[in-house]
Structure 1
């Protein structure tokens, strides 16, 4: 029994000696890595953020607690690439902000560490960011315009289509010239669908491009190329003088009938004792209209013409009149046996209407026959001018007994696309 106790004591002593020797050996190994001292870590960057850009990123953060920090290192591509960002510490909180260039469009995993002057580093922080470049740029399309029209008061109205917001679209820029030859740039937010520009210079184009941010916090804005375009529709009604009711007169008979100011009225239309074409109002009809009435004591009208002559440049045009729709208008007006037209004719007069001759006349650029069964909104036609020339616009008619119909306005538009 005594021998067993001696054996156990000897074994315990031996194990204790081995353990002590092992600990001493491990301590020596630790010193190999710490060069005889404890590991020293610098304070890591706080509030670390990375922002995407065009083939680059921006890194931001705060140095708060460690006064020894002297630089920030950013690694990527498995630490094959890196940049060093110097840090000048003050007694307070220091902001770090730096842009890293030459990062072709891709997704990057960054390893971010601070260091002091002795080369002691912080614990790594890992953050991922994407850069954008030619592929993203190629995917962008300009915002579509639903319509653009220039009114006779020279205000340009542009109506925009909606956009896919997932593309990063946030605005459209419009560059235009005003009536004083001053250039302006207007930024239209993506949620705004209409822009009205006053004092637009007629005959000029406006330019458009759209703006994109691939992420809400991106540091670079992407743009589509500027595209120049004319307003799709230009209201040229101002070229036609005295073009809406109440129409003005150059003279009247002192009563209902008169002659239109600024218009050429031929003798056939002056079928009310030397007056005609202007109606001062009768029988519940509105005053100050264009009305060519035959019957009820007045002669029929054959090849009657009321028109104005303007000079038009090459282009596509729309000539339109607004007709009175009630019983005193189209419902009691011209039938298919009459030849009543709104028309455009090359030269300084209108083609004859009798028997429908106007429809085949080589000088006729366009026409619309007016009958009492048509919608008042249908009184328009489109015509093309191939070279700068004089064009006469107006009403050419041949009609029988008890015919009339009231014109409320006359309008001219140019279509660009």
Structure 2
């Protein structure tokens, strides 16, 4: 009997546990469906079901302090309006509906809504006040907080040569919604032109830019692919400086006349002390038609020789003259020496006056200790528009071994 009683009690406990579990499941189901159940209770009051068609295929389209919501209905001719609820039904909007014979798209734009993430509930209604089951969707509204995170795409460089402007851009984080940059500039016909640079493009080339004019730009953002509004940064204005152009400035250098290995450089002024190779010098056929002032190895000495080029109309700004050399054997211990020079006006100083001449804007002494394939950087600033002269001046030995400096290129860039 003891054993039998124990078994009966054990079975009672099992039944009790099963009952508790079933009650829990039922409670969970009831909590998940209570809202729908309340709807059905209302619809079935009096024993008859009366409700309108539920909106299907909901979509939201984000905007700037607004949002657009779309959905479709296709079966119920009785629908006369639909309503949208948000903020736990504290806010709502009603939209009239005129039904067609087929599928209709219902659409509403809710304006003046604060930036946030919202849960929207939509229901349709007939003229008797009967309503549908709820359709729900989540949507995002953008505004000032998003706007304050936006910044203009960084510009790496502006390169203006005559009326051709090239703008180089840095990359950006695409998750910000950036799609590109809008530019407004004045062309050579004095007309304002608006152009767009997609975010996928790193360069923009404008071939009809009016020199010394100012352009402005702003960066464009769409926070989501389907957003109905576009966001913009504030305009930034910029006046690009025209790049001073050096003619005949890189290998292969051109010569106006030659005598064997040696020649006279085209577009450059070469003084007589340089012309020690049968009336020629400065242009060297060796090493790919290079720029080279050379003495020795049977050639006479050079005293205060100069090769230079005038550049007019250089705007007031800061610049860098870059001179790339292939190799040289000039030493700091040399008497006289060789220099790269930038001077204001149409002439260069004498070698002996390089350190004291008032028109000198920048100079660098050529020195083999700096190594081969070296770029000399001469930084200078103009306080007003002016003509400048750039070039090389040198006093060289005439004995063996002589002196040389092979120059690959000359270039002036605008210092940003």
Normalising by structure 2, we get a TM-score of 0.78
* Corresponding residue SS for 2:72: strand
Aligned to 1:301: 302
Q: Which consecutive unaligned segments of at least 5 residues does structure 1 have? A: 1-31
Question: Structure 1's 243 and 34: CA in aligned 2 closer, same or farther, altered over 3 A?
Answer: closer
Please, which moves more after superposition, 96-105 or 198-207?
A: 198-207
Counterpart residue number, 1:404: 404
- Partner of 1:307: helix, strand, or coil? strand
Offset at 1:140? 1.4
User: Aligned pairs, how many?
Assistant: 367
Q: Residues 257 and 275 of structure 1 are in contact (CA less than 8 Å); yes or no, is this contact kept in structure 2?
A: yes
SS at match of 1:296: coil
Residue from 320, 324, 333 that aligns with 2:326:
324
**C-alpha displacement of 1:181:** 5.9
- 2:79 matched residue in structure 1: 69
User: Cα offset for 1:58?
Assistant: 0.6
Give, in whole Å, the separation in 1 of the partners of 2:155 and 2:197: 15
Change (3 A) 1:349 1:35: closer
Mapped partners of 1:149, 1:259: distance in 2:
30
Displacement of 1:62: 0.6
For 1:260-409, list aligned pairs within 5 A: 260-279=265-284, 281=285, 285-286=286-287, 288-311=289-312, 312-325=314-327, 330=328, 332-337=329-334, 338-354=336-352, 357-374=353-370, 375-401=372-398, 402-409=402-409
Distance of 2:388 and 2:163 partners within structure 1: 23
Q: 2 CA distance for matches of 1:78 and 1:135?
A: 23
Partners of 1:303 and 1:205 in 2: CA distance: 43
The answer to whether the 8 Å contact 2:180/2:196 transfers is no
The equivalent of 2:131 in structure 1 is: 121
Deviations 1:240-273 (A, max 9, x none): 3332344333444x43333333322222222335
Q: Distance in 1 between matches of 2:162 and 2:93?
A: 61
How far the C-alpha of 1:319 sits from its partner, in A, is 1.4
Structure 2 CA distance for partners of 1:196 and 1:75, relative to 1, 3 Å = closer
Cα distance change, pair 227–342 in 1 and its aligned pair in 2 (3 A): same
- 8 Å CA contact 2:283–2:290 kept in 1: the answer is yes
Q: Which of 245, 251, 254 is the equivalent residue of 1:248?
A: 254
Deviation string, structure 1 residues 84-138 (Cα, Å, up to 9, x no partner): 2111111111111221112122333333211111221112333333321112211
Given that residues 343 and 396 in structure 1 are in contact (C-alpha distance below 8 angstroms), is that contact kept between their aligned partners in structure 2?
yes
Q: For residue 111 of structure 1, what is the aligned residue in structure 2?
A: 121
Aligned pairs for 1:66-145 within 5 A: 66-145=76-155
Measure how far apart 1:175 and its partner are: 4.5
Report the CA distance between 1:406 and its aligned residue: 2.0
How much does 1:76 deviate? 3.0
1:378 and 1:336 mapped to 2: Cα distance?
21
- The Cα RMSD (Å) is 3.0
Q: Which residue among 182, 197, 211 is the counterpart of 1:187?
A: 197
Give the equivalent residue in structure 2 for 1:223.
232
Alignment TM-score, normalising by the size of structure 1: 0.78
Gaps of at least 5 residues in structure 2 are 1-41
> 1:337-360: per-residue Cα shift (whole Å, max 9, x none)?
252111111222111213xx3133
Instruction: Determine the C-alpha separation between the residues in 2 that align with 1:73 and 1:397.
Output: 88
Work out the CA distance in 2 between the residues paired with 1:49 and 1:39. 28
Query: How many Å separate the matches in 2 of 1:248 and 1:214?
Result: 54
Whichever of the two has the greater Rg, that structure is: 1
Is this contact kept in 2: 1:213–1:222, CA < 8 A? yes
